Amino acid sequence: MSHPLVRAALSARPEAKLFGSRGVSDWVFFDGIPGIKIGPGATERSHSSDEFVFECELAEGAFFYERVVRACAESAALHKETA
């Protein structure tokens, strides 16, 4: 929870709950590279036979991604200033 990427995601969506996911098996190949799994829609519908995402969820997802990128950029800029 202390990694800048996680902090950026939580700043973009403070009400989010952190949890592990079994659907990220490829991450074993990314040793030392941080990552988070995020996406629009309800987790319960993800990768199911009738998976779908509402249009409003796509719009909110795009807005969320923008906030995460901005928070990461601000964090990097602050880190660069203090280095």
Average pLDDT, the chain: 85
Return the ∠ at Cα 27 (arms to 22 and 32), rounded to 5°: 135
Whether pTM exceeds 0.85:
no
User: Residue 65 — very low, low, confident or very high, per pLDDT cuts 50/70/90?
Assistant: very high
What is the residue extent of each domain of the chain? 1-18+42-83
User: Residue 22 — very low, low, confident or very high, per pLDDT cuts 50/70/90?
Assistant: low
First to last CA, the chain: 22
Give dist(CA 39, CA 50) in Å, integer: 17
Question: Which are the contacts of 59, defined by CB distance < 8 A and separation ≥ 6?
Answer: none
Mean pLDDT across the stretch 26-34? 79
Higher pLDDT, 77 or 59: 59
